[in-house]
Amino acid sequence: MSIQSISDKTTLNNGVQMPWLGLGVFESREGGEIENAIHTAFEQGYRSIDTASFYYNERGVGKAIQESNVPRKEIFVTTKIWNDDVRAGRTKQAFEISLEKLGLDYIDLYLIHWPVGGHFVQAWKDLEEIYQSGLVKAIGVSNFMVHHLQELMDSSEIIPTVNQVEFHPRLVQPKLRQFCKENKIQFEAWSPLMRGEIFSIPQINDLAKKYNKTEAQIVLRWDLQHEVVTIPKSAKPERIIANAQIFDFELKPEEMDLLDGLDNATRTGPDPNNFNF
């Protein structure tokens, strides 16, 4: 097992390094809540923050970063372009607004948030230009299925560095993961804790007891052993701290299989083939 500490990183297909563990901030409110969450995370050694223009908290993320003592070059910031901007062809403007709200002079990873049919290929071409300008270190996608990735790769120059999708023991997505692996696209899990639903799965309860860990720690460890980047969200300091304590134990191969076997294709979020926003 190669991932041994919170400072370990995956190397993306363009050579940029991205931490395996990050802090998700969807629904973390701007102001004290998000600033405290990020300060706690930095104290624990987290260096990656996952936001989006749609979360309406990029200013809060930027403020927390500016107030911290952590050097900018150690921090990895992901943000995303929202669907309305993709549809309207406002990629570059949307990027500039995110950059300004974050108060940064570059972004580490910029993602197309959803595969908006008929528009994502053009948005990707715009992202390629932003990437060439140096204002973003890596570009990628989110919620792309295999056919979306194929369509994108058939008509563009740069292969996405990352595909961030819903992933947890009830939605294991083996084919999509395999496709990403073959094409050197780093797979990244959103809603790794199934927004809390993993806590009532008996097999996960049993593993938590066995290892004297929480259900969240078991599932986040499973992500790492699958070499999946993971970004659990919490606004509670004690949970942010606990969610990072996943580097001192290892699940056995049969336990990995057991968790994989819980897959029943359940989504907590929208289906990327059928969303209406």
Which residues belong to the active site? 55
CB of 268 to ligand NDP, least distance (A): 7
Number of helices (H) and strands (E), helices first, in the chain? 11, 10
Q: Does residue 81 belong to the site contacting ligand NDP (CB under 6 A)? A: no
- Find out whether 234 and 34 touch, Cβ atoms under 8 Å: no
CB-count burial class (<10 Å; 0-12, 13-18, 19+) for 55? buried
Q: In the stretch 29-58, what mask flags binding to ligand NDP with x, by CB under 6 A?
A: ---------------------x--------
Pairing of strands 17-19, 9-11: antiparallel
Q: How distant, in Å, are the alpha carbons of 8, 41, 177, 258 from that of 247?
A: 10, 16, 23, 20
Q: Assign 3-state DSSP to the chain and report helix, strand, coil percentages, each to 5.
A: 45, 15, 40
CB of 116 to ligand NDP, least distance (A): 12
What's CA 72's distance to the chain center, in Å?
A: 19
CB of 148 to ligand NDP, least distance (A): 13
Contacting residue, 10, 48, 79, 164, with ligand NDP by CB under 6 A: 164
> Quick one: tokens of 18?
């991205």
Contacting residue, 53, 142, 173, 225, with ligand NDP by CB under 6 A: 142
- Find out whether 151 and 119 touch, Cβ atoms under 8 Å: no
Q: Does residue 242 belong to the site contacting ligand NDP (CB under 6 A)? A: yes
Q: Does residue 18 belong to the site contacting ligand NDP (CB under 6 A)? A: no
Q: Does residue 83 belong to the site contacting ligand NDP (CB under 6 A)? A: no
Contacting residue, 144, 187, 190, 247, with ligand NDP by CB under 6 A: 190
Closest CA to 113 of 150, 162, 156, 177: 162
Q: In the stretch 250-269, what mask flags binding to ligand NDP with x, by CB under 6 A?
A: -------------------x
Q: Does residue 236 belong to the site contacting ligand NDP (CB under 6 A)? A: yes
The piece of 66-74, 91-99, 201-209, 231-239 that touches ligand NDP (CB under 6 A) is 231-239
> Which residues contribute to the site for ligand NDP (CB under 6 A)?
24-26, 50, 113, 142-143, 164, 190-196, 214, 216, 231-236, 239, 242-243, 269
